[in-house]
A and B are shown apart, each in its own frame.
Chain A
Amino acid sequence: MAAAMPLALLVLLLLGPGGWCLAEPPRDSLREELVITPLPSGDVAATFQFRTRWDSELQREGDTDHYFLRYAVLPREVVCTENLTPWKKLLPCSSKAGLSVLLKADRLFHTSYHSQAVHIRPVCRNARCTSISWELRQTLSVVFDAFITGQGKKDWSLFRMFSRTLTEPCPLASESRVYVDITTYNQDNETLEVHPPPTTTYQDVILGTRKTYAIYDLLDTAMINNSRNLNIQLKWKRPPENEAPPVPFLHAQRYVSGYGLQKGELSTLLYNTHPYRAFPVLLLDTVPWYLRLYVHTLTITSKGKENKPSYIHYQPAQDRLQPHLLEMLIQLPANSVTKVSIQFERALLKWTEYTPDPNHGFYVSPSVLSALVPSMVAAKPVDWEESPLFNSLFPVSDGSNYFVRLYTEPLLVNLPTPDFSMPYNVICLTCTVVAVCYGSFYNLLTRTFHIEEPRTGGLAKRLANLIRRARGVPPL
């Protein structure tokens, strides 16, 4: 079961035009797919991916200048249908046809995990990268919980998950497929049964393990015409036990330690559970300026020993202008927990800088971990255009590693907060009234008054004087 994680990260990644996609892509193409992964706990994960690509000549910049890489986080965003509606409008078929008919808000928000993203990037159209296309990729992942959505039952169907079934493909789509993970966990027999039986299957290495998927192609007319709709059903042959889910090779945890309102410590625990491979991790931290970091207290320990990062980039914060930026490349030893901790002091804000709910606390954005995680099974390099979209979520670099980017949980830190209650308001009000009264009284008492002769004539007189001065006659 996946832990609830923030949807909040709408990260716009502008990757440089790499030599990824060398084949000539069709113009304005749409590919959509849905991956259904039953989890060993009895929950089920569903991931939608929609990729639109168009060849219009948008503005073209030169080589990506790293000074123009931008990174911004809004850690406070909560999951809400307001996020979904504009996101759905970007789809060519909106929610009228194809896979997007399943995107019903009341079911999608009845889940235990929700993650939604938009990626825009330029893609090279040829090897020399003389022309580029733009790619808009939208992903939505949800985990349906057997306890909440399934009312304890662990057999799933599309109707049970989304309260809809698939009836027709999106007419604009060049590819519209549903993949169901039917990997057998046990050697002896199949654990899962899918209905209707799939026509084709697909095998690949995802996240370092070999997986088998059943494919349902919506463009295949036989698939829908048989029964007017497609309702894929999953039945466990043996009901899964409530066992702890398998632990991924790389995971992380972040927390604030200490108590009191003066000092604290930000700690990040990085777990490498790989039995024998060490691998490096790039850790990016942005910390708001009102937590004043003491960089000399930065300690990185793994297995009780100090772990020296091979690269550190630190950009100190400027009050009210920019946050701290800390980037480190850390080698994680095999089968270890690495603790990165740094102490901070909580700053006092100006009284107008507090949020309307200051006692809620202030958010600290998640750390970002980027790593090439070694995989157990060697993967062969694949053709990006031909393979399914979910394959490129975790791109394989050289067959033995796959790329993972993790976001830790955001943190909530309490700052020393004045008592914004009635006495405080009274003090503020009284001070304002006193200041205003005092100011005006003082002004009145210390000012000296002169009686000035009223000016007459105005513009006409001034013009006349100008002319008189030019003529050498004394002015009026």
Chain B
Amino acid sequence: MGLLSDPVRRRALARLVLRLNAPLWALPVAWLERTMRSVGLEVYTQSFSRKLPFPDETHERYMVSGTNVYGILRAPRAASTESLVLTVPCGSDSTNSQAVGLLLALAAHFRGQIYWAKDIVFLVTEHDLLGTEAWLEAYHDVNVTGMQSSPLQGRAGAIQAAVALELSSDVVTSLDVAVEGLNGQLPNLDLLNLFQTFCQKGGLLCTLQGKLQPQDWTSLDGPLQGLQTLLLMVLRQASGRPHGSHGLFLRYRVEALTLRGINSFRQYKYDLVAVGKALEGMFRKLNHLLERLHQSFFLYLLPGLSRFVSIGLYMPAVGFLLLVLGLKALELWMQLHEAGMGLEEPGGAPGPSVPLPPSQGVGLASLVAPLLISQAMGLALYVLPVLGQHVATQHFPVAEAEAVVLTLLAIYAAGLALPHNTHRVISTQAPDRGWMALKLVALIYLALQLGCIALTNFSLGFLLATTMVPTAALAKPHGPRTLYAALLVLTSPAATLLGSLFLWRELQEAPLSLAEGWQLFLAALAQGVLEHHTYGALLFPLLSLGLYPCWLLFWNVLFWK
């Protein structure tokens, strides 16, 4: 968003691009086809097109159409039941052409070998992840995201594992490995171990999250650096984005990771032969696999390449956090019960068999309105920005992408201002009962949601739990209301996102200024919505339909009259 900050100019450019509808750099499909065929592969192409819900300003694309080229090396004496994939995602410029070269060289070398037991697919995709998504959907003959693509002519059975390769320059000083996939899915740890083994064997310098591996775990520096790497991984996993095209393979239960060749201007440089040797080693190992990778771990956190934190260690942490919500809910339930008993006792009908006195039934009815309103706000947040972008661009001088982000923020803020409690004061005897019941419901709702999230994407669950749980437990309409309100706003999902961005850049040792942070925040919002529509990332619907309404309930509790 930084380049074209003037909305009018940006709109003009967007229209120009729309009219031209021709990418500045296109994949040399015919050349690739010819080269792959001359190497001896079975070559096929697949064309795809996708109209994004609104223009993607980070990658500068809107109506995308491209062609994927893939060549299949048939294993000599197998029946094409299993395959491995080596993929190179090509973006809108020729930054990844080094990787294409390495892929072709590897293909030529692999073709002359007799030992392959699984077919190997060499895949070059256009428009990086969009192309990969189109190819994967066509390969598995499903349509998850509304991609229009031609059916595949050649297939190679069940894909067992995939490696994505990105080389940004011809000089490689280190290899960075990315494991975080779509919706926080991770590949089997054995694949990472395999990579690490070959890195050590070939003497390659490997990094994780762009951080060097700490050598000395006994002194304080090692664990500290490990903690930094761990936090970076938590933030990246929590974002639910596919960090590299390997992330999209994980949905189809294909173990995959991305290798990025980095030129960090160190003294020791590796030529591509070293990278190729590591890749060849990995493929030969994977070729020998009798079963899919299924042993060891799918759920882990990595403080270093050779160390991991297992699920058994980290899960209790989030469990204890959620216990706070449970205990608080129990406390409220007891208080409500006692208040009910207190009312009932003069009537002379006490009994544990009637836990809900009639007056509480009225209290529950008064909860319907705030619940409905907050859910409606969530629905509006989910649907309106994309739906109403054209209306917004007609009435305000903004571009579509900006319109979406601003509508998003406007609806988000409007949710705070909306009068939720349409109720009149129902029972004068117990004015506290209304908000207590509402808070009880909100606490249970939050605990359930966070529990489910933590099971599927631990990092996201943990991040949300650490921010939301304390204030959610504290919120009540008495006491220092302004302090509570400030706390609640600071721990709302959007503020958590903003804070995470700052933390992320801080950990990467590239701190952000406030203005930059805000720009990055806006871009992240747009990306989140886009990734939901293009790859099926679930973070946006989760926040807008689940956590935001729940958070509004606590806001409602705070301002209960």
| Interface residue ranges, A against B (CB under 8 Å) | 1, 3-8, 75, 78-79, 109-114, 145-148, 151, 242-244, 253, 255-259, 265, 267, 357-361, 363, 409-414, 417, 421
Nearest-CB residue, chain B, relative to A337: B151
A419 shortest CB reach to chain B, Å? 8
Nearest-CB residue, chain A, relative to B141: A257
CA A259 to CA B143, docked complex, whole Å: 11
Hey, what's the 0/1 contact readout for B25-52 against A, CB within 8 Å counting as 1? 0000000001001101011000000000
Given A3-B74, A4-B75, A6-B79, A359 contacting B157 (CB threshold 8 A): no
Contacts of A75 in B (CB 8 A): 79
Given A253-B155, A414-B292, A112 contacting B140 (CB threshold 8 A): no
Find out whether the CB atom of B252 lies under 8 angstroms from the CB atom of A259. Answer: yes
Find out whether the CB atom of A361 lies under 8 angstroms from the CB atom of B76. Answer: no
Find out whether the CB atom of B114 lies under 8 angstroms from the CB atom of A359. Answer: no
B150 shortest CB reach to chain A, Å? 12
Q: List 27 A-B contacts (CB under 8 A).
A: A1-B40, A4-B74, A4-B76, A4-B78, A5-B79, A112-B74, A112-B76, A114-B77, A145-B76, A146-B40, A147-B40, A148-B112, A151-B112, A244-B37, A255-B141, A258-B141, A258-B142, A259-B142, A357-B291, A358-B291, A360-B292, A361-B158, A409-B80, A411-B158, A412-B157, A412-B158, A414-B158
Q: Which chain B residues numbered 44 to 98 have a C-beta less than 8 Å away from chain A? A: 74-82
CA A411 to CA B114, docked complex, whole Å: 23
| Interface residue ranges, B against A (CB under 8 Å) | 34, 37-38, 40, 42-43, 74-82, 111-114, 140-142, 154-155, 157-158, 251-253, 290-292, 294-295
CA A4 to CA B40, docked complex, whole Å: 14
A6 shortest CB reach to chain B, Å? 4
Contacts of A79 in B (CB 8 A): 77
Partner of B42, one of A3, A145, A146: A3
CA A5 to CA B157, docked complex, whole Å: 12
Find out whether the CB atom of A109 lies under 8 angstroms from the CB atom of B81. Answer: no
CA A242 to CA B36, docked complex, whole Å: 10
A341 shortest CB reach to chain B, Å? 8
Contacts of A421 in B (CB 8 A): 295
Find out whether the CB atom of A259 lies under 8 angstroms from the CB atom of B75. Answer: no
A46 shortest CB reach to chain B, Å? 15
Contacts of A257 in B (CB 8 A): 140-142
Partner of A259, one of B77, B155, B253, B295: B253
B254 shortest CB reach to chain A, Å? 9
Find out whether the CB atom of B292 lies under 8 angstroms from the CB atom of A361. Answer: yes
Given A257-B140, A258-B142, A4 contacting B79 (CB threshold 8 A): yes
CA A1 to CA B38, docked complex, whole Å: 13
A321 shortest CB reach to chain B, Å? 25
Nearest-CB residue, chain A, relative to B78: A4
B299 shortest CB reach to chain A, Å? 13
Centre residue among B79, B80, B142, B251 by max chain A CB count within 10 A: B79
B80 shortest CB reach to chain A, Å? 5
Contacts of B158 in A (CB 8 A): 256, 361, 411-414
Nearest-CB residue, chain B, relative to A256: B158
CA A351 to CA B465, docked complex, whole Å: 39
Find out whether the CB atom of B77 lies under 8 angstroms from the CB atom of A409. Answer: no
Given A148-B114, A412-B158, A4 contacting B77 (CB threshold 8 A): yes
CA A258 to CA B158, docked complex, whole Å: 11
A185 shortest CB reach to chain B, Å? 18
A2 shortest CB reach to chain B, Å? 9
Contacts of A411 in B (CB 8 A): 81, 157-158
Partner of B141, one of A3, A4, A148, A265: A265
Centre residue among A5, A146, A265, A361 by max chain B CB count within 10 A: A361
Find out whether the CB atom of A359 lies under 8 angstroms from the CB atom of B292. Answer: yes
B400 shortest CB reach to chain A, Å? 32
Contacts of B290 in A (CB 8 A): 357, 360
* A4-B76, A242-B40 known, 4 other contacts, Cβ within 8 Å: A110-B114, A257-B142, A259-B252, A360-B290
B159 shortest CB reach to chain A, Å? 10
Contacts of A244 in B (CB 8 A): 37, 43
CA A93 to CA B391, docked complex, whole Å: 86
Contacts of B113 in A (CB 8 A): 148
| Pairs of residues from A and B, 4 with the lowest C-beta to C-beta distance, nearest first | A257-B141, A6-B79, A359-B291, A79-B77
Contacts of B82 in A (CB 8 A): 412
CA A255 to CA B154, docked complex, whole Å: 10
Contacts of A253 in B (CB 8 A): 154-155
CA A151 to CA B108, docked complex, whole Å: 12
Contacts of B76 in A (CB 8 A): 4, 111-114, 145, 148
Given A5-B79, A259-B252, A259-B253, A147 contacting B111 (CB threshold 8 A): yes
Contacts of B80 in A (CB 8 A): 3-4, 409
Find out whether the CB atom of A8 lies under 8 angstroms from the CB atom of B79. Answer: yes
Contacts of A147 in B (CB 8 A): 40, 111-112
Given A147-B40, A411-B157, A360 contacting B74 (CB threshold 8 A): no
Nearest-CB residue, chain A, relative to B72: A3
B109 shortest CB reach to chain A, Å? 11
Find out whether the CB atom of B81 lies under 8 angstroms from the CB atom of A78. Answer: no
A366 shortest CB reach to chain B, Å? 8
CA A412 to CA B155, docked complex, whole Å: 13
Find out whether the CB atom of A242 lies under 8 angstroms from the CB atom of B77. Answer: no
B547 shortest CB reach to chain A, Å? 26
Contacts of A258 in B (CB 8 A): 140-142
A409 shortest CB reach to chain B, Å? 5
B69 shortest CB reach to chain A, Å? 14
A117 shortest CB reach to chain B, Å? 15
Contacts of A78 in B (CB 8 A): 77-78
Find out whether the CB atom of A409 lies under 8 angstroms from the CB atom of B141. Answer: no
CA A253 to CA B75, docked complex, whole Å: 17
Contacts of B155 in A (CB 8 A): 253, 255
CA A94 to CA B74, docked complex, whole Å: 32
B122 shortest CB reach to chain A, Å? 14
Find out whether the CB atom of A359 lies under 8 angstroms from the CB atom of B294. Answer: yes
CA A147 to CA B82, docked complex, whole Å: 22
CA A417 to CA B253, docked complex, whole Å: 14
Contacts of B40 in A (CB 8 A): 1, 145-147, 242
A198 shortest CB reach to chain B, Å? 30
Contacts of B43 in A (CB 8 A): 244
Partner of B38, one of A6, A109, A242, A259: A242
CA A417 to CA B291, docked complex, whole Å: 12
Contacts of B38 in A (CB 8 A): 242
Find out whether the CB atom of B79 lies under 8 angstroms from the CB atom of A410. Answer: yes
Find out whether the CB atom of B81 lies under 8 angstroms from the CB atom of A409. Answer: yes
CA A323 to CA B78, docked complex, whole Å: 24
CA A409 to CA B34, docked complex, whole Å: 27
Contacts of B81 in A (CB 8 A): 363, 409-412
Contacts of A146 in B (CB 8 A): 40
Contacts of B111 in A (CB 8 A): 147-148
Nearest-CB residue, chain A, relative to B119: A4
B156 shortest CB reach to chain A, Å? 9
Nearest-CB residue, chain A, relative to B40: A147
A423 shortest CB reach to chain B, Å? 11
A400 shortest CB reach to chain B, Å? 29
Contacts of B292 in A (CB 8 A): 359-361, 414
CA A8 to CA B154, docked complex, whole Å: 21
Nearest-CB residue, chain A, relative to B108: A147
Nearest-CB residue, chain B, relative to A363: B81
CA A5 to CA B295, docked complex, whole Å: 30
Contacts of B154 in A (CB 8 A): 253
CA A78 to CA B81, docked complex, whole Å: 11
CA A88 to CA B209, docked complex, whole Å: 58
CA A109 to CA B77, docked complex, whole Å: 8
CA A7 to CA B75, docked complex, whole Å: 13
Nearest-CB residue, chain B, relative to A109: B77
CA A369 to CA B439, docked complex, whole Å: 65
Contacts of B140 in A (CB 8 A): 257-259
Nearest-CB residue, chain A, relative to B254: A259
Contacts of A256 in B (CB 8 A): 158
Contacts of A417 in B (CB 8 A): 294
